[in-house]
């Protein structure tokens, strides 16, 4: 069993020893700038010259982010495909966007798209991943040098923008926002002044319920639920309002004075995390208010995370980074129960 010790969050010696994830998160903005500098768009322009696809099929990590950003303004159909094997209808009229994850899956996707005659736009951390396709006239390959799925997806969006299929991304502004989040969530910021550490405390010893009312904030909720499960081996559910209402309504009211060693319900208490990207309408605002009131009526902890600066991609990045910093601190705060 594990227990959460919030004093570990301000222990700089511990953070230095076990802060690899925090350092990686802090470097995300720099990684994005480096990826932009490394990106060579010449072969993309060559491959896609005078080509207007019937559809765009996005594969790999953050494919759903690409669809969410591109779909509202894209003049063609956009599909986020969750598996390496392509849909049966994909052919020479389609553009397949492969955002590199595992090398084997990336190669499989590119090979199948190539066999179907589709135009391929591949984004990978290293050039060696697709070495066998060098010289292929239907493949545009952009190397980023970054393993972060969000960085690679942002580069994919930049390429689609150049093709007239996506709105302006402005990656430098996205990187600036990531740097601001890294500064606010720095390990050197104490618990009382650090939003990520405060959220980690809220998540501790609970089963988090995460909600985002827009397409992008709901995507952040799913990403953070995955991260929380990985670091804590505890239930974390990302769901919409209709699915969370019965969970909150049926939750046993938590006694804040209960002894967690004597009361088995304390260790399974919920925490409601609402994610707000400032792009909601009145209906979404009403849903958030209803969920928060339900949580408060049951004595359930609340964590509100809001990021309202910049474009949709900037707001997505800000929400996601705040949450990922929080889950990194959650992992550092957990220690074996002696």
pLDDT < 50 regions, the chain: 266-267
Residue 37, pLDDT score: 94
**Which of 47, 326, 50, 25 shows the shortest CA–CA distance to 204?**
326
Q: Which segments of the chain belong to CATH 3.40.50.10490? A: 2-19+187-336, 30-173
Spatial distance between the Cα atoms of 178 and 44, rounded to a whole number of angstroms: 27
Structure tokens at 223: 């990403």
According to CATH, the superfamily of the domain at 2-19+187-336 is: Glucose-6-phosphate isomerase like protein; domain 1 (3.40.50.10490)
Residue 261, pLDDT score: 58
Spatial distance between the Cα atoms of 312 and 277, rounded to a whole number of angstroms: 8
Q: Which residues pair with 335 in a beta bridge?
A: 3
Residues 117/138, Cβ–Cβ less than 8 Å: yes
Residue 3, pLDDT score: 85
Residue 317, pLDDT score: 97
Residue 252, pLDDT score: 78
Residue 1, pLDDT score: 60
* Structure letter (DSSP) for residue 125: S
Q: pLDDT per residue over 291-334, tens digit each?
A: 999 999 988 999 999 999 899 999 999 999 999 999 999 999 98
Residue 267, pLDDT score: 42
DSSP string, 87-110: PTT--TTEEEEEE--SHHHHHHHH
Residue 269, pLDDT score: 84
**CATH number of the 30-173 domain:** 3.40.50.10490
């Amino acid at each position: 069993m594990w227990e959460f010790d919030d004093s570990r969050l301000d222990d700089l010696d511990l953070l230095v020893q076990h802060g690899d994830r925090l350092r990686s998160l802090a470097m995300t903005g720099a990684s994005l700038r480096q990826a932009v500098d490394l990106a060579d768009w010449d072969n993309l322009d060559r491959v896609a010259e005078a080509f207007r696809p019937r559809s765009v099929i996005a594969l790999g990590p953050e494919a759903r982010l690409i669809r969410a950003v591109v779909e509202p303004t894209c003049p063609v159909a956009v599909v986020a495909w969750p598996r390496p094997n392509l849909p049966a209808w994909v052919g020479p009229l389609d553009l397949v966007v492969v955002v590199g994850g595992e090398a084997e899956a990336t190669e499989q996707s590119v090979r199948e798209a190539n066999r179907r005659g589709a135009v391929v736009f591949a984004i990978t951390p290293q050039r060696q991943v697709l070495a066998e396709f060098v010289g292929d006239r239907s493949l545009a390959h952009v190397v980023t040098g970054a393993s972060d799925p969000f960085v690679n997806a942002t580069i994919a969006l930049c390429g689609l923008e150049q093709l007239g299929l996506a709105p302006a991304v402005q990656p430098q502004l996205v990187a600036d926002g990531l740097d601001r989040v890294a500064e606010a969530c720095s390990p050197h910021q104490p618990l009382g002044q650090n939003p990520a550490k405060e959220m980690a405390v809220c998540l501790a010893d609970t089963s988090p319920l995460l909600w985002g009312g827009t397409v992008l904030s709901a995507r952040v909720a799913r990403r953070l639920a995955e991260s929380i499960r990985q670091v804590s081996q505890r239930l974390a559910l990302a769901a919409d309002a209709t699915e969370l209402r019965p969970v909150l309504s049926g939750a046993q009211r938590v006694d804040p004075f209960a002894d967690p060693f004597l009361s088995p319900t304390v260790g399974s208490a919920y925490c409601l995390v609402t994610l707000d990207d400032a792009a909601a309408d009145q209906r979404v605002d009403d849903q958030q208010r209803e969920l928060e009131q339900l949580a408060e009526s049951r004595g359930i902890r609340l964590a509100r995370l809001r990021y309202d600066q910049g474009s949709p991609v900037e707001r997505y990045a800000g929400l996601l980074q705040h949450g990922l910093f929080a889950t990194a601190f959650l992992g550092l705060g957990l220690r074996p129960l002696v």
